Amino acid sequence: AQSVSQHNHHVILSEAASLELGCNYSYGGTVNLFWYVQYPGQHLQLLLKYFSGDPLVKGIKGFEAEFIKSKFSFNLRKPSVQWSDTAEYFCAVMGGVYNNNDMRFGAGTRLTVKP
């Protein structure tokens, strides 16, 4: 079955620490990949996306993600987090062998940044 896995349910960091959130998917074929963020009390917002080209994708607010096809991974990174990055982060995948037009989400990772 096609699925999206986010390994960390809750990550707690201090300000200025580096961040890496894992995302793996089980789709075969060509996929489109997304990271969304949901700040407390706010709507889901797109952080970055990968459709094709350079596997290292830069998004808003200093976030980046790297698509590693051989590992079926699309991990999110930020070199130095800020208190304002406290939020829930969702990885999402579309496409695949079955050309699935559904956007399938991971369960989310809650990030808490301590000031």
Partner 1 sequence: ETGVTQTPRHLVMGMTNKKSLKCEQHLGHNAMYWYKQSAKKPLELMFVYNFKEQTENNSVPSRFSPECPNSSHLFLHLHTLQPEDSALYLCASSQGGSSSYEQYFGPGTRLTVT
| Min dist. Cβ of residue 31 to partner 1 (A) | 8
Q: How many residues contact partner 1, by CB under 8 A?
A: 26
Say if residues 112 and 86 touch (Cβ distance below 8 Å).
yes
Q: Which is nearer to partner 1, 16 or 107 (CB)?
A: 107
Task: Tell me the C-alpha distance between 101 and 108, whole Å.
Answer: 20
Side chain identity at residue 24, one-letter code: N
Interior/surface letters 8-42, b for 16+ CB within 10 angstroms, e for the rest: eeebebeeeeebebebbbebeeebebbbbbeeeee
The reply to whether 11 sits near partner 1 by the rule CB under 8 A is no
Q: Which is nearer to partner 1, 4 or 19 (CB)?
A: 4
| Min dist. Cβ of residue 18 to partner 1 (A) | 26
Binding site for partner 1 (CB under 8 A): 4, 9, 31-32, 34, 36, 42-46, 49, 51, 90, 94-95, 99-108
